[in-house]
Amino acid sequence: MPDGHRRETGYGVMKMENITQELAEIVGKTYVSWQAEERWFYGRDSGLMPAHQPDYVVLPRTVEEIQAIVRFAGREDIPVVPMGAGMSLSGLVIPQKGGIVVDMKRMDRILKVNETARYAVVEGGTSTGALHAHLNRYYPRLRFSIPDSPATTTIAANVMIHGQGRLTQQYGFNSDMVSGLEVVLPSGELCRIGSCALSDDWFSKGPPLPDLSGLFLGWFGATGILTKVGLKLYPRKKMRDVEIFITDSPDFVPGILYEITHTEMAEDINIFAQPLPLIFKDNHHIVVYFTGEDLEELDFKKKKIFHALDGFIRNKDGGFMTIGEGMRKTLLDMPQRSATTFADVTRGGGFEYSGPIIPIDRYPQCSRKLDELAVKYDLKYHATARVIGRGHAMMFAFSFTFNRADVDMMERTRKALHEASEYALSIGGLFWKPTLDEQRIALAKMDPQTAKLMKMIKENLDPQGIMNPGNWEVAE
């Protein structure tokens, strides 16, 4: 940009090169950019949400640098968007009003593992793959709830969107497994949440203190930037296995899930249904994972689960499927790589899903709705679901794949996803990692006092509205 040129923005007038220089003084000139190629890359994700470029990209290395960035942005009234790996697919880190994208990837240290108390403390840019590898090498008896997203996904971003993983069926959302937070507030001040606010121990995010983590988890960076996360760890058993129970009617799925969860023997329960390959057509596959220290424990759990489903087998409403070793290996992968294969089944590089959280008894309705949408919009689809808690809820994914070079197919996919979202809300579901449109739909339907409380929280924490603006904005 020519010297002396000024950029008119909603956050005031200042030479862009001067802003770049200010940011370079904070993080070093190697780690700040306003060049077109970086701005293009950071202005989009892999989903269908429209792109919008930031004005600057910075990669801080320390908490102090993040504090300085936020304070500077506050002085100049510049939006700030914290970013993990940008894997949400729903546009949550697309900078809707430009400003500064804060890429957290350089803050990737694993700071502490307390083996006896079973928790880890990681920086805000630490990936799930890095912690998984660290535990495998140094603490092989410990594990955490690994999501099925790529290993580059950051732990902070995953808990921020209430992610799910391989221990979700036992312990709830991955955000339920948080044991403490360190947050840079929109003012630039640093705040610790949970037991770490009183000591160096990160064993509780709240109780018996007031649980303030809800001021940040689920807000998508609109109330602060997570710089450290405490995460609960769990026993890693020596052995792990999987079985698949099949039924040809979605109506039987809730009852099957109820019986399996009632045994309390499963580590994880997933469901999938898809028309291709033909071996899977017209069936609903309940994938049950279980673990044990030895074969005796595995056999005991397997027998309990088999026995729980005797009634469905006797009535010929379902049965167990023989799993070949190749398929077993694929199913036991962590994260699950088969999802990546489906994501490019049209050979066009496009994949997105609406994944509402629903009571498990709504599975049949969502399954039939997905079939209807696939026919209506002529799309390839895949249904998948994951049980959360002891059957307290499930995530149901209306998944579609599309060719990015086919504009018409992309528009059909948008319409199908929008219809799926509205349908899920109409039957009592909740949006998971909602797009801006879904956030607006949810806020419009929400209890007015709840929306008012959210507005009060956001405006008090971020009175200038600089933190990831556009997200969870409550209209007057």
Domain termination residue (choose one: 192, 211, 235): 235
Q: Is residue 463 assigned to a domain? A: no
Q: Which two tokens stand for residue 57?
A: 């990209």
pLDDT in the model for residue 351:
75
Which has the minimum average pLDDT: 60-74, 91-105, 140-154, 273-287?
273-287
* Whether 258 and 401 share a structural domain: yes
Average pLDDT, the chain: 91
Q: Is residue 356 assigned to a domain? A: yes
Q: What percent of the chain has a predicted confidence (pLDDT) above 70? A: 93
CB 78 within 8 A of CB 99: yes
Q: Name which of 159, 180, 194 is nearest 84 in CA terms.
A: 159
pLDDT in the model for residue 340:
53
- Ordered alpha helix ranges (H), 378-435: 407-426
pLDDT in the model for residue 468:
96
Give the CA diameter of the chain: 81
pLDDT at 6 > cutoff 50: no
Q: Which two tokens stand for residue 12?
A: 């005031």
Q: Is residue 226 assigned to a domain? A: yes
Task: Output 146 or 340, whichever has higher pLDDT.
Answer: 146
Kindly report the number of other CB atoms within 10 A of residue 207's CB atom: 9
Distances in Å between the Cα of 12 and the Cα atoms of 77, 102, 274 are 7, 20, 52
pTM recorded for the entire structure: 0.91
Report the C-alpha gap between 296 and 316 in whole angstroms.
Answer: 29
Helix axes 436-445, 407-426, angle to 10 degrees: 20
Strands 100-103 and 80-83: parallel
Domain range for 45 is 25-103
Which has the minimum average pLDDT: 24-33, 178-187, 236-245, 268-277?
268-277
Which has the minimum average pLDDT: 18-22, 43-47, 117-121, 449-453?
43-47
16-25, long-range: CB within 8 Å, 24+ apart, which pairs? 16/55, 19/55, 19/56, 19/76, 19/78, 20/56, 22/72, 23/56, 23/58, 23/69, 23/72, 23/100
CB 44 within 8 A of CB 94: yes
- Cβ neighbors of 167 (< 8 A, separation 6 or more) are 143, 144, 145, 177, 234, 267, 268
Beta strands, E only, 282-424: 284-292, 319-321, 349-354, 357-358, 380-388, 393-403
Tens-digit pLDDT profile for residues 308-336: 999 999 999 999 998 988 888 888 887 76
Mean pLDDT of 34-43: 91
Mean pLDDT of 408-421: 93
* Whether 56 and 185 share a structural domain: no
* Whether 206 and 276 share a structural domain: no
- Cβ neighbors of 411 (< 8 A, separation 6 or more) are none
* Whether 95 and 188 share a structural domain: no
Mean pLDDT of 187-203: 97
pLDDT at 446 > cutoff 70: yes
Number of structural domains the chain divides into: 3
Q: Is residue 293 assigned to a domain? A: yes
pLDDT in the model for residue 336:
66
Strands 56-58 and 100-103: parallel
Q: Residue 347 — pLDDT band, cuts 50, 70, 90?
A: low
Q: Is residue 422 assigned to a domain? A: yes
pLDDT in the model for residue 276:
75
pLDDT in the model for residue 44:
87
pLDDT at 275 > cutoff 50: yes
Mean pLDDT of 451-458: 96
Q: What is the CATH number of the domain that holds 44?
A: 3.30.43.10
Quick check: bond before 335 cis, omega within 30?
A: yes
* Whether 177 and 248 share a structural domain: no
Domain termination residue (choose one: 235, 270, 293): 235
Q: Which amino acid is at 108?
A: D
* Whether 346 and 399 share a structural domain: yes
Which has the minimum average pLDDT: 51-65, 256-270, 397-411?
397-411
pLDDT in the model for residue 2:
30
pLDDT in the model for residue 177:
97
Report the C-alpha gap between 340 and 132 in whole angstroms.
Answer: 19
Mean pLDDT of 146-169: 93
pLDDT at 11 > cutoff 60: no
Mean pLDDT of 408-433: 94
Tens-digit pLDDT profile for residues 105-145: 999 999 999 999 999 999 999 999 999 999 999 999 999 99
pLDDT at 7 > cutoff 90: no
* Whether 212 and 250 share a structural domain: no
pLDDT in the model for residue 8:
43
pLDDT at 59 > cutoff 90: yes
Q: Is residue 305 assigned to a domain? A: yes
Q: Is residue 444 assigned to a domain? A: no
CB 205 within 8 A of CB 230: yes
* Whether 348 and 295 share a structural domain: yes
Domain termination residue (choose one: 182, 206, 235): 235
Mean pLDDT of 192-203: 97
pLDDT at 274 > cutoff 90: no
pLDDT at 344 > cutoff 70: no
* Whether 215 and 316 share a structural domain: no
Mean pLDDT of 422-429: 95
Q: Is residue 363 assigned to a domain? A: yes
* Whether 279 and 366 share a structural domain: yes
* Whether 287 and 142 share a structural domain: no
* Whether 386 and 267 share a structural domain: yes
Fill in the DSSP letter of residue 377. Answer: H
